[in-house]
Amino acid sequence: MADVWVEKYRPKKLADVIGQKIIVERLSAYVRTVSMPHMLFAGPAGCGKTTCSIALARELYGDQWKGNFLELNASDERGIDIVRGKIKDFARAASMGQNDFKIIFLDEADSLTGDAQAALRRTMERYTQTCRFVLSCNYSSKIIEPIQSRCAVFRFRPLSESDVRICIERISKVEGIEVSEEGYLAIAQLAGGDLRKATNILQVASSMGGKVDAETVFESTENIRPSEIQELLTTALKGSFMAARSKLDDMIVIHGLSGEDIVKAIHRAVLDLPVNEDVKIRLIDRVGEAEFRMVSGSSERIQLEALLAHFAYEGKNGKS
């Protein structure tokens, strides 16, 4: 259902895209000249890469955009056969109407295998007269250099909390969802610049019925409230390790979160702790080490308790 909301409120024009002003200006210039190079859209999830590509096609082709635009997801079809099959067949065919070229939008292109990327490089070069490629990825470093050199690179940034709020307000108004000021703030914070995630949070929270406030948002998404993390860290910094450990146990049981989720929440909260900068530096360093060990396969519970122990140690001995 969240995907239905995304499609329903997805901007139809480049000018309506929020939070990517410079990129929209560059893409609009291509529309005015009815010309464009191969492009690489790189950036985090939910920041508008697919939206910009579809809006670009709509403005270039008008009512014929669907016949001149092919969208593929490389995470579903990531081997060399997809390049030799679907992509090459679409690229070699003539465009509809009076248009000089078509567009192939390859989402999650960083999931393509090395062989598929090598084959795609030659296809991009061979069919430049009839087709333009738009590659979308989260990590441009996973795209081979020969492909990057053939593309104009567009680097998308996460949406700001104010941009996310604008979009959420627009959806809630049309859908008749009552959202409080604290509710908007909670959704924007939890989204982390991902508008798709924000839309999903709004839908889940609204399904509980009644007004969507901060309490509803945190309950429906099973996320830790910032105040809970602050209380956990403050307790540890007072030197009360066993009390902090007890709070950690309650949080794990109540929310059912993974150790990585809790570490990320701790990382965000450390910057707001009432300690001097030297202490924050040591704490951030320790948080990073705990996160690395978890990703490497260490016990989450042991690493979290070791992290709290370090906070308690700093609280007692690291005041300078």
Task: Delimit the domains of the chain by residue range.
Answer: 2-155, 161-221, 226-317
At the topology level of CATH, where does 226-317 sit? Zinc Finger, Delta Prime; domain 3 (1.20.272)
pLDDT at residue 237 tops 70: yes
Q: Is 20 helix (H, G, I), strand (E, B) or coil?
A: coil
pLDDT at residue 39 tops 90: yes
pLDDT of residue 320: 39
pLDDT at residue 235 tops 80: yes
Distance from C-alpha of 200 to C-alpha of 204, rounded to nearest angstrom: 6
Point out which residues pair with 155 in neighbouring strands: 42
pLDDT at residue 3 tops 70: no
At the topology level of CATH, where does 161-221 sit? Helicase, Ruva Protein; domain 3 (1.10.8)
What's the rounded mean pLDDT across residues 220-244? 85
pLDDT category of residue 77 using cuts at 50, 70 and 90:
low
3-state helix, strand, coil in the chain (%, to 5): 65, 10, 30
Model pTM? Answer: 0.79
Contact in structure between 136 and 41 (CB atoms under 8 Å): yes
Q: Is 179 helix (H, G, I), strand (E, B) or coil?
A: strand
**What tens digit of pLDDT does each residue of 132-150 get?**
889 999 988 889 999 999 8
Q: Does domain 2-155 have CATH number 3.40.50.300?
A: yes
pLDDT at residue 153 tops 50: yes
Q: Is 153 helix (H, G, I), strand (E, B) or coil?
A: strand
pLDDT at residue 16 tops 70: yes
Contact in structure between 17 and 55 (CB atoms under 8 Å): yes
Distance from C-alpha of 186 to C-alpha of 219, rounded to nearest angstrom: 11
Q: Is 131 helix (H, G, I), strand (E, B) or coil?
A: strand
pLDDT at residue 253 tops 80: no
Distance from C-alpha of 281 to C-alpha of 314, rounded to nearest angstrom: 11
Q: What percent of the chain has pLDDT over 70?
A: 92
pLDDT category of residue 1 using cuts at 50, 70 and 90:
very low
